Each structure stands twice: as C-alpha cells, then as structure tokens.
Chains A and B, each alone.
Chain A
Amino acid sequence: MRSRFRRFVVVAIAAIAPPLAADAQNTGSIRGRITENVGQRAIGDVQVLVAGTGSGAITNANGEYVIANVPAGSRTVRVRRLGFVPTERTVNVVAGETTQLDFALSQSLTQLEQLVITGTAGLTEKRTLGNSITTVDVADLNEKTTVLSVSEVLQSKTPGVTFLVGSGAPGTAGEFRIRGAGSISGYRPVVFIDGVRYNIENLGNFAATGAGLAGLAQSSQTTSALDLISPNDIESIEVIKGPAAATLYGAEAANGVIQIITKKGTRGQQKLRWSFRGERGQTEWALDTPVNYTTCDSAKFAAANAATWPGCAGQSLGTVLTDEPMRRHPEALRTGDLQRLSLSVRGGGDRYSLYLAGDRDTDEGVFYNSFNNRKSARANFTFNPTDIADFQVNTSFIQTNLRLPMQDESANGLLLSAARGRPGRLPVRPTLDGWSTIEPERANRYNNQTRSERLTLGGTLNVNPWSWFRNRFTAGLDNTTAQAELLFLPGDEGEPAGAHAQRNPMTKVYTLDYAGTADFALNSTWQLTTSFGTQIVSNRTETLFGQGVGLGAPDVTLIGTATTTSSTSSFSENNSVGYYIQEQIAWNNRLFVTGAVRADDNSSFGTNFDIITYPKASVSYVISEEPGLSNLLRSWRVNSLKLRAAWGAAGRAPAPYAAEQTYTVDRVTLGGTTGSALRTQSYGNPDLKPERGQEIELGFDAGLLNERLALDFTFYNKTTSDMLVSVPVKPSTGFPTSRQTNLGEVNNRGVEFAVTATALQNERVQWDSRLSLATTRNRLNSFDIPGKVSETPTGQAYGAVQQHRPGFPMGGYWAQSPRRNADGSPVVNSAGAVQFDTAKYIGPSAPTREVGFANTVTLFKNLRFYSLLDYKGGFYLFNLKERNRCQAANDNCARNNDPRARFPQNAADSLLMKELAVWRGATAAAAWIEKADFVKLREISLTYTLPTRWLSPAGASSANIIVSGRNIGLWTDYSGIDPEVNSYGGRLFVRADAYASPMTRRLSVAINLTY
C-alpha cells in the first residue's frame, strides 16, 4: 500500500515537474499598475492573466501587480474587473527582464462582458444570457463599509430580493424572498458556494420566548446557516432570480439561486499578498424605547387604592408620572462592542494559487445577555498540473457562538416588561419597580446559546482537453453541527427548579456535479454551444434533543443529573438527481438563442410520479452591435443595448418522506408492562410531485453616455402551480393531521429597474450612483383546498388577522372595523357589546415597493464617501405591542400623555375615550394594523486611502481607514419602534410587531492593511 502511494506521488511530481523546469529556464516578469482611464484612480482586485499560460495576478489596492516566470516571447495580457471593460494588450516578454505594462480601464456599467455562473461548465459572458443576473461585488463592498453577514451584503443591493428581517439581536435572521413569495409552504432559494450546495437552514436554536422549557414549542426569532460565512472571504455573490434563469438548477430552484464565489489566488510567481483588517465598533439602541405613563387621577388617590399607587402620594390631582425603564435601568441596555480581525494571504506560483484567511468577529448586542461570535478559517487552493486542467480545493471551517436574549411576545421578555410598566404602582418586589413582568436583574440571567461548527469542503476539477470542450467535475460536503442549549439554574425565572435542554442538529449536504460544454463554430457567423451535465445532491439532518427538569445544585447542570429527563431524536434525508442539456446558437456574437431542458428525480417524489422535466428558452440580442442600428443608437448616446427575453420553469421538491405512507413506533401499556406498538404517522401521497414555477422575463441592459450611465430593466411574471399545500386528511382514514398535496397557484409579477451612473468624473472627484427599484405584486390565484375559502398562515397566533385568500396577496392583513351608526357612533347589541363588520382586506404584509439608492463620492482619489438609502413601502404591520398597551388597564395609550399614542385617553374628551373603548375590545382590529412604509439610511461610510509614502516605512503596500455606520436614520409614520422587525422572524408569512428588538445602530472604524 505504501509503495503504491509512493509511486503515485512520484508520478504526480513527474507530471508537474517538467513544465516547472522548463518555465524556470526562459522566463521574464511583467509588472504594472492599473488605473481608471478618467481620474487615474488605482483599481484593486483586478484579475490579470497571461493568455495561454495560466499565470496571473491580482492587483493590490494601489492597482499594482507583478507576474513572474512568464515564458519569454509575445504574450497577451488580459485584465478583468467587475465594472470595467475587459481589456487585453500584447507585450514582448524578454527572458530575465521585467516588462512594464500598465492599463487604464474604462468603466462599463452595462457589464456585457462580465463572466457569470449559469450552471454550465465554465463561466458565461453576460451578453449571451436572456435573463438578468445581479452580481454583488462583495470585495468592493468590504473596501468601503462593514458587513457582517451575507444577509447584510444582499440587503437593499439586489432588486427583487426582499429581506424580511426578524429582529436587531445579533445572530438572528429573517426570511428572504426572491421575486415574491413563490409558494404557500416555502420560498427559500438554493445557495451554492463555489459550486457546492450550501445549507441555509436554521441552526436549531431554541426560540427565545415562552416561560421556561414550556416555550420550546413556540417559534420566534430564527437563525440561518447562510449567515455563518464571513463576508471577508467572499469575492462576489450572484443572484439568479427565478425559474426562467434557474431551470438548469432543477427541482429545487424555483425560488432562485444564489451563487457565492469566494476569494481565490491567481497563478504566477508573485509576491504573497498579505491583508489585514482590524475593526472596532459599537452597536447601540438608537431608536425610541417604550415610555410608560400613569395619570394620578382621583381613583388612584382613593383610600382603597392609595397603597397600590405610592408614586402618586404627594402629587397633585392629574399629575402624569412618566417612566422609561429601558433607559433608566443601568442593566437594561448597553452599548455593545464590535470587534473584527481578519488576516488573509493571496498568491500563487507557476502551477498553483492560494487564498488563506482567518477571521475572528465579536458582536455584542445591546442586551446584556446577547452576543454573536464567529471564528473562521478558509483555505482555497488551485493546482494547475497541466495547461488543460486545474483542480481547486476550497475548504472552510467556521465556529460560532450565539446567545439570544429573551424577547418578542414573551412574558419574561425585557421589552414586553418595559412596554407594559405602570409608573408609581407598588411593585410585587422592589426590583420590579416600573417593570411589568420581569426586571433586568432576572431577565439577563436567561441563557440561550447556540454553538455551531461548519466544515465546507469542495473540490472542482476543470478539464479542457481542447479549446472548444470544457468539463467541470465538482464534489463537495457541507457539514454543519450545532449545539443549542437552554439553561435555567435553580431559581431562574420560568424554571425555578432549574432545567437544561440541548438540541444537537447535524446537517450534511453532499454535492456531486458534472458539467460539460462544447463549442462548435459552424462558420464565422454561426456558433453552437452545447452544454450538458448531471447533479446529485444529498441532504441529511440528524437531531438529538434532551432535556432535564429539576437541577439539584446550580453547579451540576448535566441533563442526566436532573430529576426528570426526556430525550428524542429525529432524522431526515433527501436525495435528488438531475440532468440537463442546453443548446445555444450564437449569430455574429450578438444574437444568442438558448434552449434547454432539465430532468429531475427526487427521493421525496411520490411513487406514482417519476421524473419531472423543466424546459427553458431565451434570447439575447446585443442590438447595439447591429451595423444598421449602431450609428443610430450612438446618435442617441446609446453605447450598448441588449434586449433579452427568457422563459423557463423550475421546481421545489416536497418535504422529505411527505409522499410515503408511514407508521412509527410508540409505547403501549400492557397490564403491568410496557411494550411497543405501531402508530399511523403519515398518510402520504403517492402522486406528490414538485411545485412548478414558470416565469417569463423581458428586459434590456443599456449603456449610455460613454458607458457612464447604465440602465437595467426587467419585467417578470412568475406563476407557481401545483403548490405544495398541507391539506387535512379525513380522520376516518385512521391517519393523523394532514398530507402534502399539489394544489393551487400563486402569481408574482413586477419590475426591477436599476440605474447606475457615474455622475461626475474628473481628476479630483468621482461620483458613482446606483438607484434600484423593484416592485412585487403577489396574488394567490387559486386555493383549491376543499371546503376552505381562506387559510391562516401557519403560526399566526391571532387568527385570521392574516389570511391566504384567492385574489389577494398571501399572508395579507384582514381585520374588522366596528359598525357605525349614522352619527359615527359604534353599533352595540343589547348587552352593550360593539358590533364589528366581517373582516376586510387591509393590505399586504410584505413590501411591494423597494428602492435602494447608493452613492459613492471619491475625492482626490483617496477619500471615499458612501451611503445607501433603503426604502420599503406598500405594506402594513400588525402593531401588537401598541394594541396590548391600549388594551391593558393602564395609561400608556393616552395621547395626552404620549403624542405618539394611537388613541386619545383623555377623560375630558369623552367621545375619544369611547373610541378607544371601541377598539380595546377587538383583538386584531383594523386600528392596530398600520402602514409600515419607511426609509432608512442603511449604510454610510468614509474611507481614506493612505498615501503610499506613509506606508513604505512599515513595509505595507496599501492601507485605508474606514469609518462606517449602519442603520443610521429612520423616517416613517409607523407608530411603533421599528417597522422593519417581526416578532415571528422564523415563520414564512406571520408578521407582527410584538416586542421584537429593533434594528440597532452600528458604528465602527476599520483599518485595512496590505503587504
């Protein structure tokens, strides 16, 4: 065995060594600097490649690069950078000498030559695509601001991608929708990282709500494995938005595909480039906190009540006592610390390149028992044993530790307690003064942590035996192991006897992928490109849960030592296999017609259903290169114009095991003994098949004014049919609950429009601007659940305040209003109860209009100001907190006390008092559902690039300092604290503002150093 291995090593070295030896004998170097053609600003992260050799480099922040060991002779050097026109120049490399080769790149906002990932082998030029793909340059974003997660990277920068955040507590995640909610039962996209399928599920955290372990069944804030990866390691993210573009990804891609491309090194005997980033900052609660009021009225002075209201003693009649417990109490809120350290090295030799990085992030929340810490390491290697093949190995290991504060609609949540306080009232215990249910001393003991470890390993072999034939083999594993822990020591709130619960989910996702692409030039005009491939994905999750109640001593917390213990385990597996074939016909490199079909089979399909096929077709026409039109377009200052149209289908697979009729095993008491017994578990559905998302999109990309203005317009119309809906099973079948059934149809349509402009560009000032706008119209076309005209979204605790109803947006708000007499007074029945109308539609619960407006102003080449304004509109939010404050018997709802209160509660205004009384009686009435449009100053930063001469003594090649802020300003008419948050962040459609932590303001200073 050992000798066989030795033989393998010798052969491998022999395969690589000859080219190395040959390279060293007759080579020179190329060095140079790359700048913008206007303004001469240095451009970093430009990929420089010597054609035909595989050698290359990436420029540093000063735009400098060096490529060593370039074979002597005439060489073509190609440079490529997102946002610039790819350029190539020929240079004569002399053996033993260094040749200077500088480039001045033109901006190209339309990006027709940009290479993107489409699912086929190799990269594809954007000009050939009939659909839109949004690319986020994460490396550039990291150079000008602070982003902590993929969610933050994508938020407000990708039109059509709507983030529905949960809360501002670090480590919490929301849901996100690409081009609207595509189904009643799920709408998450699939994510790949360097070609390997990436788990984005919840980490298995315990919901931070409820009372003790009883709250475990509830759901509130969720986490996402997507946010584990550090943005520092990401080069770019590509968002493929709908079935028209995602057909090649098959039966799980109907809701879009996100491709994460991590940083890589570049071949060439170049100096290793070390980069260091250090950052220090803080998070703070910058928005309002609840203010509570007590009016010292005559009732509170009455002898019977005086002891209850000691705060009113000595006050005059009518005095209003106010209290803001979250601000008053020193242990309620803090300024959280943010620290980030990152060290990476990039480089490469003749036959390899590498990127190594380590990151350490510490993010404290504003609550004393909140944090989210992350350590990560990444190693990406590329080996080029021959000129026709390369092999990439991408590995990353991430370790996180998250602690969630008790929040949302929980009696033991600090925010709830603060919002329902009653100033001046005798507290149950002295420390509870001003708080309703719990005070910080107790709340801060809540210990809900989730630790996770994630190993992602991917290998990709690219083999290009001929210039016209490319092959890619990818194999990968994404392994996420988490340990969620909820610990109550004896005496803690909720579990006074002490309790300990642990949940350990382990998720493994395996990917095997082959893709081949063959080009065939019929003649100088026509070119055919054939692509084919197969993809296998296997997803396994095992979860072990244990809990113990009754801890004898605070220092002994093992579950097994508790007085009562229980445990459960679960397992889930899903396997899928897909094949595709695609043919593209290109005419004169400006008209591209593409047709493809993908076939999928999946372990969750019903036995009566075999394989699903998804077709696609698209046309891309770079009409600006049409000789007959180019002059006309140029006369209109249009430099480039691509028209595109795409139609395609993709799917979403059923839940694992949903198709099978299954039984499980349970216990049975048999006299004095216990035995095992079968129980019916799932009725199954042998006809179950995936949802079918079908989409047509039309649009254009245009570059105007010498590519200083780019327009990107897309109209899409996406319909999901055969939705996977849980339908109750007739109990007389003997099976419990429900089964997944293909029913109904939902439609999403809208426009996505982006204007990117270089508004001003000269040697001193450059002003780049990007305005993106997206609309989403979501309609449930048909429902088809027998016997039902509407359904309440799963997990909505307030009944039909949200409904899925045909003809309306899914999860839209519905509420009752009081019936009125002619004089405006409410209609009451004989018992005096207010009579309400039947529920009427109020509006959508998710944004239907989104605008992102980003500006970057660069002064004197080294000072950069960046801002991002984020507007979301056309939606409503259930202000449950305000409803509670108004329904409770206190004075917190009084407008004469609080100008922001929803209702007057002024005894002098009896009519208005009556109006409050009308609404007080209704649980989910229209009064509590408010328009939630808002504008946020989402990101702001100032970046200063230090002059090179300052850095020379320290040996650094470039450095910049970034002062950045996030969630700096909020403008809204919404009366709650933050219209963006949702107390049910982990639920697909449920949206309510019930004491969720608002988004916090973050300020930080970072320094980037490159050696």
Chain B
Amino acid sequence: MSHKNLRVRCWTAAMLVLSASSLGCNDFLAAENPGAVIVDDLEDPRYASLIPNSVVGEFQPMFGNIAWWNAVYADELWNRAVFFEEGLIDQRNVTDVNGTFNVFLYGPLHRTRFMADDGAARLKRLLGDSASRDLRLARTLVYGAYSYTFLGEMMCATPIDGGDPIPPDELFAKAIERYDEAIAVAAAARTAALALNPPDNRTALGADSIRNFALVGKARTQLDLNQQQAALATAQLVAANFEFRAYYSTNSTRENNWFWNRLTASTSGSLANTPFQAMVGDPRIPRIATGARANVPLSPESFSSWSNTVVDADFVQGGFVRIASSLEAQYIIAEVQGPVASTLTFVNARRAVGLQAPVALTGAALMAELRDQRRRDFYLDNHRLGDLRRYKKYYQVDEFPKGAYPGSTTGETYNANADCWPLPLAETSGVK
C-alpha cells in the first residue's frame, strides 16, 4: 500500500471515528438535573395535582408579605425602621430602586399570578375536556384571580409576562374573567361530584368553598371597578358564615406567618402615629399597651390568634389569616346599598363587636362610620390600600396620611401624591 493511500485511509478512519463519536452525543449531552423540572416535563399528567398546590404555595407567603407592606404603605402601620427603604415605603416615597418592594411584594405577586395563569393553561391541556369540571382548575383560577385583584389594588400599572404596563381597571377585568371561570368550573365540579355513586361530598364541599371564595373576590373587584350593582349582585350570592384562609406553619421561614415574624419575633412596626392608635378598647385593634413595645399590634380579627380582647393575642408562627369572608360580602352589600336602615343595623352590629355603643347616623356620616368599621374589621388583612384608593377615586375621600412624617428629624414628609406602587427597576430594565 502506498504512503499516499495509507494517508487517505487514515483520513477516512479519522472521519469515521469522529462521526461515530458524534452519534451518541445528544444523549450524552443531556445533563441530569435532579433539583429541577424542565418546563417541557411539566406536560406530564403526574404534575396535574401539583399545579394547584403550586399556586397556593406562592400565594400564601405572598399574601402575608403584601398584607404587611401594604399596611405600611397605607395607614395601618407606622414603620420608622432602621432600614431606610422601609421608612420610605411608610412615607410612600417609593421609587423604582426600592429593592424591598421588588423582593417582598412585586416579585412574589407576579410569581403567584404566573403560576396560576401558567398552571391553568397547563391543567386544561393535561385534563382535556374534564378540566371544565375539575376542582383543581377552579382552585388554580381563583388564586390567580385574587393575584390580579391585588395587583390592581396596589399597582399604578403593571405589565403581565413582561409586556406593556396595563392599568388597574384592565387588571380588574382580567381578574373577573378568572373569577367567572372559577365559579363555573367549581359549580360543574360540584355537580359532577354529587352525581357520583356514592356522591363525593368532600369535593362538593370544596367546590362550594372555592365558589364562595371566587364570589367574594369577584364582588370585591367589581367594587374596585365601581360596578356597584354588579358587586351587590355577586356579594348576595355568598353563603353565610363563609371564610377562606391563608395557612401558615412552623415548617420554614417562608411558611411562617409574616406578621409573627415582623411583630412578635421582632418589632418592625407600630400602630402609633396611625388612625388606629386612637381605637383603644376595640378588641379588633389589640396592641401592647405599655413598655418599650407599646403600640405594637397584637393579632387582629382576621388572624387565627385573635383573642377578641384588647391584649394577650400575640401573633403565632403558624397562625392562619382570613382572606375572604361573608363579612366582606356584607360590607360590600352595605356600601352599595348606601345609608339605608340595613346599613345602620349592620354598622351597629359591627360596633358591638368593637365594644362600641350603637349610633344613629344617616347619610354621609353613616357611610363614614361604615368605612371606619370596615377598616377595623379588616385591619392588617390586605384590604386597606385598595379601600383607600377606591375611596379616593370614587368617593373623593382621601384618607392617605399626609404632611410631616412622624418621628422625622430631617423634615421628611408623606408623599401626598402617591397612592400606588410604581414599577421596580428590575421590571423596567430586566429582560424577558
């Protein structure tokens, strides 16, 4: 064999070796990753049951956080903390570089919303026709709907999935779409469960709960849109004695009740210098009475650790929080019906809970009293900021704190013009 032929053969052999070695490369290049699920793998039907849990798993820690920070931003807490960003939030001087806002509110809220939207779409693909009567889809939808409602109540505007910012009213409209779908799916799930032999009563009860949860959220959102009669009609559908809760535990910091973390495990806020400081004696606004931690709130009514007294109600690490209730539906009904007799009756019933004497108010005074009772009943459970914005927008009642910022030695003031959260820098400069 000539030298040249040998060379050609060697070349050929080399190319064959290289080609052969490349054949198995695709498999070889698939790196194992036991710490994660690749997005494509979520199309596996085994993930279907995990999806609603995933939305709840994001929603509950998020809810604790936004309830806290919205309370600081509104008028429920005064938080002149050492960490300057918290003080700026209290003054509503929030700019796009405020990392606290991005990390604790904006990011978690959008993660919840995304998990719900993405999860609902995925469930529909995974479950096919049965999705329309599957309670898992209803749960996923309703939590997603609430996250849209919260976005609308908090944000000046916000993009969805990295798009252009959309205003609150559009966010509310998207929320209502989801509430409606959740209500329909829950109703179908209930019907299907009861049609079984034997009937699946547990699922039927769950469907009732999801339906009521969605109804309260829908009515709340309709009120946010000033669709008063629609809100009234929706609220009237809510079952009596209904409550829906966010649950917490001692498992991990993320699963802790955030108010326990901020007010019992530490002292990061106070009701001093807020309108609630004056509500002494109302067991719905309990607080530490004296000492270095005087005026630090204790568990209010929406918290499982509420003791219905003005003292002895520390927040607990695993205590749950009420998100929605028939009480809220009653407030919505009263607000829409206006200063009528039933509203006065309702107001006095709530005053009794607060150990307040009955009143005989009418007109605007009665509606003011209704608003006062509402802020007491829903203290620290993420209603106040939405209410303040709603009152300001539709009733021309501006109850946002204004003027000099209490405790400031450098002349800080509340930002009188601010009533909503801006977009964080991560949103405006981040990539999609």
Minimum CB–CB distance for B360 against chain A, Å: 43
Residues on the A chain within 8 Å of B3, using CB: 468, 520
Contact assessment for B161 and A676 in the assembled complex, using a CB-CB cutoff below 8 Å? no
Complex interface: chain B residues within 8 A of A733 (CB)? 110, 114, 161-162, 432
Whether B39 pairs with A663 at a CB distance below 8 angstroms is yes
Known contacts A604-B31, A729-B432, A733-B114; is-contact A662 B160 (Cβ 8 Å) = no
Contacts of B10 in A (CB 8 A): 469, 516, 518
| A466, B38: Cβ atoms closer than 8 Å | no
Instruction: Report the stretch among A127-135, A329-337, A574-582 that lies at the interface.
Output: A574-582
CB atoms of B11 and A530 under 8 A apart: yes
A663 touches which of B21, B36, B107, B160 (Cβ 8 Å): B36
B53–A734 contact, CB under 8 A? Answer: no
The 0/1 profile, CB within 8 Å of B marked 1, for residues 559-588 of chain A is: 000000000001101111101000000000
- In the complex, A674 Cα to B31 Cα: how many Å? 31
A868 to chain B minimum Cβ distance, whole angstroms, is: 44
Residue A525 lies at the interface, judged by CB distance under 8 Å to chain B: no
Cross-chain contact B31 with A678 (CB below 8 angstroms): no
Cβ of A728 and Cβ of B114 under 8 Å apart?
Answer: no
Task: Name the residue among A602, A736, A788 with the largest chain B CB count within 10 angstroms.
Answer: A736
Residue of A nearest to B50 (CB): A678
Q: Is the CB of B25 within 8 A of A736?
A: no
Q: Which residues of A contact B107 (CB under 8 A)?
A: 731, 736
Q: Does B199 contact A (CB under 8 A)?
A: no
Closest chain A CB from B59 CB (angstroms): 9
Most buried by A among B35, B51, B426, B430: B430
Q: B residues 1-48 with Cβ under 8 Å of A?
A: 3-4, 6-7, 10-11, 14, 17-18, 21-22, 25, 28-39, 42, 47
Which residue of B32, B56, B113, B318 is within 8 Å of A668 (Cβ)? B56
Kindly identify which residue among A530, A577, A729, A735 contacts B22, using a CB–CB cutoff of 8 Å. A577
Stretch touching chain B among A72-80, A653-661, A983-991: A653-661
Contacts of A604 in B (CB 8 A): 31
Contact call A577/B33, Cβ cutoff below 8 A: no
The stretch that binds A, out of B75-83, B188-196, B243-251, B327-335, is B243-251
CB < 8 Å neighbour of B430 from A538, A574, A662, A728: A728
Q: Is A478 at the interface (CB under 8 A from chain B)?
A: no
In the complex, what distance in Å separates the CA atom of A324 from the CA atom of B38?
A: 59
Q: Are A575 and B28 in contact (CB under 8 A)?
A: yes
Bound Cα distance A660, B38 (Å): 7
Shortest beta-carbon distance, B274 to chain A, in Å? 28
Distance in angstroms from B119 CB to nearest chain A CB is 8
Check if B425 is an interface residue, CB within 8 A of chain A. Answer: yes
Asked if B37 contacts A732 (CB within 8 A), the reply is no
B193–chain A nearest beta-carbon distance, Å: 19
Given contacts A575-B29, A661-B39, A736-B107, A667 and B50 within 8 Å (CB-CB): no
CB pair B56–A679 under 8 Å, yes or no, is no
Contact partner of B431 among A664, A727, A831, CB < 8 A? A727
**Any chain A CB within 8 A of the CB of B102?**
yes
B40's nearest neighbour on chain A, judged by CB, is A661
Known contacts: A534-B21, A677-B57. The answer to whether A731 contacts B426 by CB under 8 A is yes
**Within 8 Å CB of A731, what residues of B?**
102, 106-107, 110-111, 424, 426-427, 430
Quick one: which of B28, B53, B158, B431 has the most chain A CB within 10 A?
Answer: B431
Residues of B within 8 A of A788 (CB): 429
For residue A787, which residues in chain B have a CB less than 8 angstroms away from its CB?
425, 428-429
Q: Does A821 lie at the interface of the complex (its beta carbon under 8 Å from any beta carbon of B)?
A: no
In contact, A668 and B60 (Cβ under 8 angstroms)? yes
Who on chain B is nearest to A520 by CB?
Answer: B7
- Pick from A530, A678, A732, A741: contact of B161, CB below 8 A: A732
Main secondary structure of the interface of A (DSSP, over half): strand
Residues from 201 to 240 in B contacting A, C-beta threshold 8 Å: none
Given known A728-B431, A734-B118, contact A670–B247 (CB-CB < 8 A): yes
A734 to B161, CA, bound (A): 7
Chain B residues lying within 8 Å of A466, measured Cβ to Cβ, are: 6
Interchain CA distance A728-B161 in the complex, whole Å = 14
- Asked whether A732 lies within 8 Å of B427 as measured between CB atoms, the reply is yes
B29 & A662 in contact (Cβ 8 Å cutoff): no
Report the bound CA distance from A667 to B34 in whole Å: 16
A319 within 8 A of B: no
B182 close to A (CB within 8 Å) = no
Of B22, B57, B115, which contacts A734 at CB under 8 A? B115
B160: chain A residues within 8 A (beta carbon) = 732
CA distance A732 to B106 in the complex (A): 8
Q: Which of A602, A661, A666, A729 contacts B57 (CB 8 A)?
A: A666
Task: Tell me the bound Cα distance from A739 to B6 in angstroms.
Answer: 51
Number of interface residues of A (CB under 8 A): 66
The answer, yes or no, to whether B169 is at the interface (CB within 8 Å) is: no
The verdict on B408 contacting chain A, using a C-beta distance below 8 Å, is: no
CB within 8 Å for A679 and B58 given contacts A577-B22, A788-B429: yes
A residues less than 8 Å from B39 (CB atoms) = 660-663, 684
A604 to B42, CA, bound (A): 20
In whole angstroms, how far apart are the Cα atoms of A506 and B113 in the complex? 38
Q: Could you tell me the distance between the alpha carbons of A656 and B428 in the complex, rounded to whole angstroms? A: 28
Contact flag A669-B28 (CB < 8 Å), given A679-B57, A732-B162: no
Least CB distance, A555 to chain B, in whole angstroms: 30
- Inter-chain contact B159/A681, CB cutoff 8 Å: no
**Closest Cβ neighbor of A678 among chain B residues:** B54
Task: Confirm or deny: A601 has a beta carbon within 8 angstroms of a beta carbon on chain B.
Answer: yes
Known: A669-B247, A787-B429. A664 touches B36 (CB 8 A): yes
Is A668 a contact partner of B53 (Cβ separation < 8 A)?
yes
* Interface status of B181 (Cβ within 8 A of chain A): no
How does the 8 Å CB contact mask read for A629-667 relative to B, with 1 for contact and 0 for none? 000000000000000000000000000110011111111
How far in angstroms is the closest Cβ of chain B from A440?
Answer: 33
Task: Write the chain A residue with the least CB distance to B34.
Answer: A571
Is B290 in contact with chain A by the CB < 8 A criterion? no
Contact call A679/B38, Cβ cutoff below 8 A: no
With A666-B57, A734-B118 as contacts: A678 and B47 at CB distance below 8 Å: yes
- The contact of B432 among A656, A681, A730, by CB within 8 Å, is A730
B28 CB contact (under 8 Å) in A536, A579, A660: A536
Alpha-carbon distance A161/B432, docked complex (angstroms): 38
Q: Which residues of chain A (720-762) have a CB below 8 Å from chain B?
A: 727-736, 739, 741
Residue of A468, A682, A733, A788 contacting most chain B CB atoms (<10 Å): A733
The residue in chain A whose Cβ has the minimal distance to the Cβ of B252 is A667
**Chain A contacts with B in 458-487, Cβ cutoff 8 A:** 466, 468-469
Hey, which chain A residues are within 8 Å of B22, CB to CB? Answer: 534, 577, 579
**Residues of chain B lying within 8 A (CB to CB) of residue A728:** 426, 429-431
A18 at interface, CB cutoff 8 A: no
Contact A603 B38 (CB under 8 A): no
Contacts of A532 in B (CB 8 A): 14, 18
B114 contacts across to A, CB distance below 8 A: 680, 732-735
CB distance from B426 to the nearest CB of A (A): 5
A675 at the interface (CB under 8 A from B): yes
Q: Which residues of A contact B102 (CB under 8 A)?
A: 731
> Which residue of chain B is the closest to A685 with respect to CB atoms?
B431
Q: For A671, list chain B residues within 8 Å (CB).
A: 247
In the assembled complex, B412 has its CB within 8 A of some CB on chain A = no
List chain A residues, Cβ under 8 A from B36. 657, 660, 662-664, 681-682
- With A571-B32, A731-B424, A733-B110 known, 20 other A-B pairs at CB within 8 A are A468-B7, A518-B10, A534-B22, A536-B21, A603-B31, A656-B33, A662-B36, A678-B42, A679-B111, A727-B431, A728-B430, A728-B431, A729-B426, A730-B426, A731-B106, A732-B159, A732-B162, A734-B118, A739-B431, A831-B410
| CB pairs A–B below 8 angstroms (22 shown) | A534-B17, A570-B35, A577-B22, A604-B31, A657-B36, A660-B36, A660-B38, A666-B254, A667-B252, A668-B57, A669-B318, A676-B50, A677-B58, A729-B430, A730-B162, A730-B430, A731-B106, A732-B160, A734-B115, A734-B118, A736-B107, A787-B428
The 7 A-B pairs at the shortest CB distance, nearest first, are namely A734-B114, A787-B429, A677-B57, A668-B57, A662-B36, A678-B54, A603-B31
